[in-house]
Amino acid sequence: MDILEVTNLTKEFGGLTANKDVSMNVKEGSITAVIGPNGAGKTTFFNMITGVYQPTAGEIKLKGQSIVGLKPDEVAKKGISRTFQNIRLFGEMSVIENVLVGMHNHLKTSLFGIFLSLPNTKKEELQAEQEAYRLLEYFELSHLINEKANNLSYGAQRKLEIARALATQPKLILLDEPAAGMNPKETKELTDIIKRMGKEFGVTILLIEHDMKLVMELSEQIFVLDHGEKIAEGNPEAIRTNPKVIEAYLGSAAVQ
């Protein structure tokens, strides 16, 4: 079953067409990648799915229901969360507070009440903190729960942003270049986490990534964009050997 159906999606900014007639279906429970050179329209595509931009034309359906026209917070409530190419954490807040912020959509009481420990929020505060701690343990960040997010290493900040996205309890999570800026050890750790994450959290993963080793290892299906248009789709082997993809993006070295 397809969790996400995108049909003929187009986005124009004045005279510039960032995406043109992009269509793709993402299977529920899968790990799917969107790749392409810089300027191919990948982040614009993510921004339309998450309600940051409204498409000029086309349709986006989550589990059969249109989400076109919804604002980002409304899209999040429908079950889509994301990370960003440029990390967007609350730097002066603690690690656990950043994760708690991600839970606000499914908490009955306000974050204000939880942070101030108001009497009627005690039970939910405890439950939220336990859930946040479980997520931080999963990402091997539990020893840093009281550390300010700004003080974390780059790799830890990347993992914290994914933990916060998972805290929204999404059906679909969009990861925008999750391995960007990571060293090989951090990238390997992240690859292992993403590989397990889908099944263990029951979430479908759609990612943009330039690290082809990570993409080829993780992805069941890959879509390739170039100059805003989809030029190929298929499994990793089909993409690795596709002449159009090699010419536009991968280069001959990626075929080895």
Going from N- to C-terminal start, the domains of the chain cover 1-79+170-256, 88-169
Are 1-79+170-256 and 88-169 the same fold in CATH? yes
CATH topology of domain 88-169: Rossmann fold (3.40.50)
Arithmetic mean of pLDDT over the chain: 89
Taking Cα atoms as reference points, which of 30, 70, 1, 7 lies closest to residue 206? 30
Amino acid 27: pLDDT:
97
Taking Cα atoms as reference points, which of 2, 12, 17 lies closest to residue 172? 2
Q: Which residue has the tokens 């099944």?
A: 199
What is the Cα–Cα distance from 168 to 239, expressed in whole angstroms?
A: 32
215 CB-side CA count, 13 A: 26
- Given a cut of 70, is residue 253 above it in pLDDT? no
pLDDT digits 0-9 by tens, 68-126 = 999 999 999 999 999 988 888 988 999 999 999 888 766 555 555 555 565 666 666 77
Amino acid 86: pLDDT:
81
Residues 14-22, mean pLDDT to the nearest whole number: 95
Of 2.40.280.10, 3.40.50.300, 3.40.630.10, 3.30.70.920, the CATH number of 1-79+170-256 is 3.40.50.300
Residues 217-239, mean pLDDT to the nearest whole number: 95
**CB-based contacts of 190, cutoff 8 Å, min separation 6:** 155, 158, 159, 178, 179, 182, 214
